[in-house]
Amino acid sequence: MRPRVEGRLPGLLQAKASRRGFLIGAGSIGLATAMAGCGSGGSGGSGKNGTLTIWASTTFVPGGDSALSKAAGEFGTKNDVKVTVQGFAANDLINKITTTLSGGGGPDLVIVDVSQVAQLAAAKLLADLTDRVTPIKSQFFPGNIAAATSEGKIYAVPYDTSNVALFYNKKMFEKAGISAPPTTWDELRSAAKELTGGGKYGYMLGAKGYGSYLYWPWLWQNGGQVTSPDFTKATFDSPEGLEAWQFYADLYLKDNVVPPTFLGVTDSWDQFLQPFMTETVAMMPMGDFGIAPLTKGNPKLEYGVAPMPKKVQSATVLGGNAVAVTKAAKNADLAWKFTSWLTSAEQEKVLEEGYKRIPARTDITGSEFAGKDPARAVFVQQAATAVSRPPVPNWGAIEWGVMADAWDSVIQKKKAPADALKAAATDSTAKLTKK
């Protein structure tokens, strides 16, 4: 049985960055400045045929040349358009976009985490791109299209895609006599126990929102769903959801295969991957964005990447970024022209080469792309079973509020797992129905 893509209508993760900042890096061309928490740049176009302003995360716009800035410059030169790219700290970006656009100002385009599209759409800050995207949506992974869709309308074009896979330490596996990475829940628990001892641990977890975010794959692997098909009721406290939640929590509470220091992993993925990087932990769930910091932080680390273990089915959580035209766009046609160009197959290859990220287009993630890096090939393979989180306006308050608090109450042994999950479902339903 295939998991339902949560963002579909019924029937169906950088070196020091937060989960909400799964954005790539980009700078400026022709003009470059760097400010505290803000990077910006402009294209070489004269502006004869118009101007465009793009906002993204500072990990996308750190200052200096990078792939996005070069793309903006190329587009500006070819079309005689002045393109300005400006970045803000990842955790401030969504608030900056919302506040400025609501006040009548703001950029023509934004590049945001796919989970933030619904929030901006519900606030009526994005242009409806349904008619423009529908003819080309088959060129992108369904899960990313689903994440860019809210109440049946498409508000963004997928840019890059990501998901979570299992990283494992080859030397630690060999020393423990384990010949291959686990493919099922039972195998993972058994391997984690074998790998724990002498100050070493078998598996890595996160606290707060990192813990809640990494629960979703377990839920889907067990056949559960986050919400009802119409997104009005939280259903993650179903028997399947509770079984997954209990298994997930017991890795720490009963099996003792998780380093106690994970309780302090609350700020960044940088924190999360440190125990694996230093070979204190043998396995961790991580996105493709973890490859670069691991390579930089410990070039001698021998590790592999495997699909997430399954229970009744294979599933992982989908991430990535999307490009959206805002309601403030002075020239919607020009904004769309840039969006279409930036997300074309040719420019998505620039994304892959410049940032080592996985394009969201299905036509350039085949064997040739995957063959460039065996580790990233696994993420391409898993894209088919990557599930998007519900495209609902209050999702951030659910994942990083209600569920993060519920998870912390469990790992801090303040609440029984079942009680915490049931209460979280009730609170989440209230947020789902809140207008």
Among the residue ranges 116-130, 265-279, 294-308, 349-363, the one predicted with the least confidence is 349-363
Average pLDDT of every residue of the chain: 86
Range 233-253 average pLDDT? 99
Range 108-117 average pLDDT? 94
Show Cβ contacts of residue 416 under 8 Å, excluding neighbours closer than 6 positions. 410
pLDDT of residue 261: 94
Q: What is the DSSP string of 35-57?
A: ETTEEEEE-S--STT-EEEEEEE
Give the pair of three-digit tokens for residue 263.
């309780």
Q: Is 290 exposed, middle or buried (0-12, 13-18, 19+ CB in 10 A)?
A: buried
Q: What percent of the chain has pLDDT over 90?
A: 66
Range 294-307 average pLDDT? 95
pLDDT of residue 71: 85
Q: Which domains does the chain have, with CATH numbers?
A: 50-162+319-385 (3.40.190.10), 163-318+389-432 (3.40.190.10)
Residue 8 clears pLDDT 60, i.e. is over it: no
How many CA atoms within 13 Å lie on the side-chain side of 106?
A: 25
Q: Is 78 exposed, middle or buried (0-12, 13-18, 19+ CB in 10 A)?
A: exposed
Amino acid at 290: G
Higher pLDDT pick, 20 / 345: 345
pLDDT of residue 37: 42
Range 374-388 average pLDDT? 88
Range 31-43 average pLDDT? 41
Residue 3 clears pLDDT 50, i.e. is over it: no
DSSP state of 79: H
Amino acid at 127: A
Higher pLDDT pick, 220 / 208: 220
With both helix axes pointing from N to C terminus, report the angle between 67-79 and 345-355 in degrees, rounded to the nearest 10. 150
Residue 19 clears pLDDT 70, i.e. is over it: no
CA-wise closest residue to 351 among 162, 140, 160, 136: 160
Altogether, the residues listed in the chain come to a count of 435
pLDDT of residue 354: 67
pLDDT of residue 371: 63
Higher pLDDT pick, 5 / 336: 336
Highest mean pLDDT among 1-5, 143-147, 283-287: 283-287
pLDDT band at 368 (very low <50, low <70, confident <90, very high): low
Residue 174 clears pLDDT 50, i.e. is over it: yes
Residue 50 clears pLDDT 90, i.e. is over it: yes
CA dist., res. 216 & res. 211, Å (int): 9
pLDDT of residue 61: 64
pLDDT of residue 63: 61
CA dist., res. 203 & res. 281, Å (int): 6
CA dist., res. 142 & res. 161, Å (int): 11
Residue 2 clears pLDDT 60, i.e. is over it: no
Label residue 64 left, alpha or beta by phi (over 0 means left) and psi (-120 to 50 means alpha).
left
pLDDT band at 370 (very low <50, low <70, confident <90, very high): low
**CA dihedral sign of residues 174, 357, 267, 297:** positive
Amino acid at 302: E
With both helix axes pointing from N to C terminus, report the angle between 239-253 and 417-433 in degrees, rounded to the nearest 10. 130
Among the residue ranges 150-154, 195-199, 347-351, 410-414, the one predicted with the least confidence is 347-351
Residue 40 clears pLDDT 90, i.e. is over it: no
